[in-house]
Chain A
Amino acid sequence: MKKTIFTLVALVIAAVSFAQNQKYVAAMKKNIILMDSAFGKPDLFLGLANTFERIGTAEKSEWLPYYYASLCRINVGFMQKDMSLNDPLADASEVLLNKADSLMPNNSEISCAKSMIATLRMLVNAQQRFMQYGAVSEKALQAAMKQDTTNPRPYMLKGQTLKGTPEQFGGGCKVAKTFLQTAVDKFATFKPATELLPNWGEKYTMGLLKECE
């Protein structure tokens, strides 16, 4: 009888935590899918950022909710018309990303997000801030490439930055293309270990590459 009760209790715990985990996975999955349709709609991204942050606060040991919450805010930043408003968004994204970083240090995806935050800050006033934040962004990308050699996103971001840099300053489509092509090649083989892990950007990279053709 004792054994049965023990088993029962264990089962209840297992079932509850299974349910909890299932709830987590389901919530994450749902919102990650929603991200795809949020492009161009900053309000949706802001809502998603809040949702991911909520999940993060509830699931204190998971880094992904914070990562996505940060990423959503970064996306809001890139969608803004007036780049001079980027600083507070970058600050908010960084707070979230730092939480993810402390739960999952040396992660390639987090390094990519770090690079994007630096770019956001740079875009506030590219002329004055390039030296400082351009370097931070580049350093984060280098780290991302090293931390996971299969990750296509650092190459995508590098290509994107180069595409936006004038040719005279070592940018332009010609140089960008090699990075974008590497990213596309890596996307073809990149398989995230779980369905919740970041797996975004392939279509966007194709688009960038097409613009460069």
Chain B
Amino acid sequence: MKFFITAILFFVTLAVNAQITISGKLTDNKNKPIRGASVTIVDSYDGTTTDSLGNFRFESTEIGEKFISATMSGYSEYKNKINIEKTNIIQNISIKELITELNAVVITVGSFEASDKKKGTVLSSLDIVTTAGANGDVQGALKTLPGTQQVGESEGLFVRGGSATESKIFIDGSLVNNFFYSSLPGLSTRGRFNPFLFKGTVFSTGGYSALYGQALSAALILESNDLPERTQADLSMSAIGIGGGIQKLTKNKKASWGVSYAYNNLTAAFAILKQNIDFFKVPQYHVADANFRIKTKGGGFLKYYGYLSGNQTGIRNADIDSLSLKNAFTVNNINTFQNLSWKENIGKGWKINTSISFSTNKDNILNELQDGNNVKQQFFAPAGYAGKNFSLQNTAEYAQARFVLDKKLAGINVIRFGSDYFYSNEKNAFTLFNGNRFDETVVDNLNAVFAETDLYITRNLALKAGSRLEYSSLMKKWNIAPRASIAYKFKDNSQMSFAYGIFYQNPERRYLPALNTDLKYSEATHYIFQYQRSSNARTFRTELFYKQYNDLFKTLPNTTGRAVAANNNGDGFAKGVEVFWRDKKTIKNLDYWISYSYLDTKRNYLNFPGSITPTFAAAHTTSFVAKKFVTEWKTGFNMSYSFATGRPYYNLVYDNTLNKNVIKEEGKTINYNSLSFSLNYLPNLGKPKAKTFAVWVLSVTNVLGQEQVFGYNFSGINNNKVPVLPPSKRFLFLGCFLSFGIDRTQDAINNNL
């Protein structure tokens, strides 16, 4: 018996000892050696790892027809038959480098992305809220990026010579019509939505994707959060109001829901900070929102967000046309926004992204001429005075349905297409001093279909090409908007890109209904060239752009004297160069960015007498933002400084002999300067057992109190000229944000490390 075992073991060992050497060289399709790859006889122990020259050599005890494989991540797999007999084998192998999301060029031209996950982003989500001077408002942070203007007299994003209405804002694919609180004359209002609602922000200052439309200049694309990390309750108290909310994560961590409410009242703030405007109704805001998010079995998400707010403001200024009278403006606003979205992988490389949204907006505006005792003064003539007593009710309903289908093609190539339907019904009732009432309704049904593809020709060369087709029932016309961008990555990881696109837009609501029912869409063509070089801690990018405006709307007064769209005889251009530099490395623990924009733009639109630089365009704009967290003090210090050269202003008056507007006076405002600071103090930082997590925020905008003039208003009756100034030199904000029941230390580390 023993003999047998010995014999068997002998043969087994013999078999083990019959070794054949297999060697060769592993290269890629460009004949470059691949090191560190695994070369194996499949299902055996035999194999090795290639050396720095791609060479491999190993001995095999296998015999007969086997498979040899070579594997390396990022490369195609090689597997082939090999006949192992008595002689040594030399086999050279070539495998192809795959284009993956990790090594491929990312098209970044025209857009700034703030995200924590994707590569190629310039900002993180948190940058939006920790930028000094932004006061937690999305637009404030975006104004420190190149391409945007430091406009202080009205809200919105003025991008590359475009007006604020040329920038559209989307949440989870749905257009948000009233992203900002209702406009107040000469003041900039805040965005309605809490910046902490969003995990991703794409701010495109031009050449944006065919998935979006109806914006001549820019698109701000916001993506809402997925599930919260944990259940938490929040409470906030600040100089401007109180708020509270709860976000509940279900036990299985597959779903969450939340509600929050905030009440803001600026009485206390205005008592301390003297306002140069008489707020006879101090701004008050009630904001409530609710959401649920459900993670589906396939890893998709169903998300709902509902928002409701009511607010009122009343401001009183000296009337521009008289010495003794005052102009009192009151607005009451109720706004709702609801969005339900669903995204899902539906198999075989298909993804669906769909959403429906419904929103309403109601503004009740009352304007009165008042005397020194704030008593309403009624005039019947001249028209300039009489017309100042009026009321205006705007009611609007909007609905949108949208779907986008994504199909993954070979490699990481993608084709996506979809459709959008927008419905808008905007009514206004304008009541004159004499009780005459004018009712107008503007309804639009806008249908769009779009298709786009991301093609990777090599891993260093990518192309995004798409097109959007729209039909608006209001315009009764089709438009087709092609878009394309191409990016090339160099060996040193810097990249060069070019974008081109045509963009169309309907007239804004305030210039509707139009005098002429056969208007064309206004049109902009973008050409953008970008060079970008970025590493983990540093980003440099510069963009050169040219934008051609065609068919811009010109306005003429309608029967009630209101300026409305009359024809497409306007046009214009904008060109410029922008630079952005962000550095987190050179100075330890200091993160800073600098942006600079040069803009040359002229346009003839609305009531302009000819081609002039619009009042919202400064030639040079620059911002410097710095952030530093001092762990010993548990405090983050943020500063920002913005500078812009003066913007033009005009006194346009109607010349009855020429039958058009002429410039009676023009000039430039003084340069704009603003230095802002903010501190975040986290007292419970590093106390893992603290049940309450607090963040104290102190921020001061325009610390130095530098004089800011946003433009001038001119009297239509006398020669009065009044500068448009900020309501107060500085703004000071002090607030405390508390979270209960959970440890938010990690958030703080995340936020400030």
Which residues of A come within 8 Å of B, CB atoms? 8, 11-12, 15-16, 19, 23, 27, 43, 46-47, 50-51, 53-55, 57-58, 82, 84, 87-88, 91-92, 125-132, 134-135, 165-170
Contact = CB atoms under 8 A, between A and B. Distances in A.
A168 B47 contact: no
Interface of B: 1, 4-5, 8-9, 12-13, 16, 36-38, 40, 42-49, 73-74, 102, 116, 124, 229, 535-536, 631-632, 634, 685-688, 745-750, 753
A168 B631 contact: yes
Given A43-B36, A54-B44, A131 B750 contact: yes
A135 to B, nearest CB: 6
A12 B753 contact: no
A87 B536 CA distance: 13
A131 B753 contact: no
B749 A130 contact: yes
Contacts of B48: 47, 50
B743 to A, nearest CB: 9
Contact of A135 (B16, B102, B229, B686): B229
Nearest to B125: A128
A57 B69 CA distance: 12
B38 A53 contact: yes
Nearest to B41: A54
A54 B45 contact: yes
Contact of A170 (B16, B36, B229, B687): B687
Given A11-B8, A15-B12, A50 B753 contact: no
A7 B47 CA distance: 35
A58 B746 contact: no
Contacts, number: 102
For the complex of A and B, 4 pairs with smallest distance between CB atoms: A50-B38, A47-B49, A168-B631, A131-B750
B47 A51 contact: yes
Contacts of A131: 229, 746-747, 749-750
B8 A50 contact: no
A54 B686 CA distance: 45
Contacts of A27: 45
Contacts of B229: 131, 135
Nearest to A42: B36
B40 A54 contact: yes
A86 B713 CA distance: 58
Contacts of A170: 686-688, 745
A154 B634 CA distance: 29
A46 B49 CA distance: 8
Nearest to B103: A88
A59 B73 CA distance: 22
A87 B73 CA distance: 12
Given A54-B47, A84-B536, A135-B229, A129 B631 contact: no
Nearest to A167: B686
Nearest to B584: A127
A8 B124 contact: no
Contacts of A84: 535-536
Which of A46, A54, A130, A165 is the most central at the interface, judged by chain B CB atoms within 10 Å of its CB? A54
Contacts of A53: 38
Nearest to B69: A57
Contacts of B685: 168-169
Contacts of B16: 19, 23
Nearest to B688: A170
Contacts of A129: 116, 750
A130 B686 contact: no
Given A50-B38, A129-B116, A168 B686 contact: yes
B4 A11 contact: yes
12 contacts: A16-B12, A50-B37, A50-B40, A50-B47, A54-B38, A126-B753, A131-B229, A131-B746, A135-B229, A167-B631, A168-B634, A170-B745
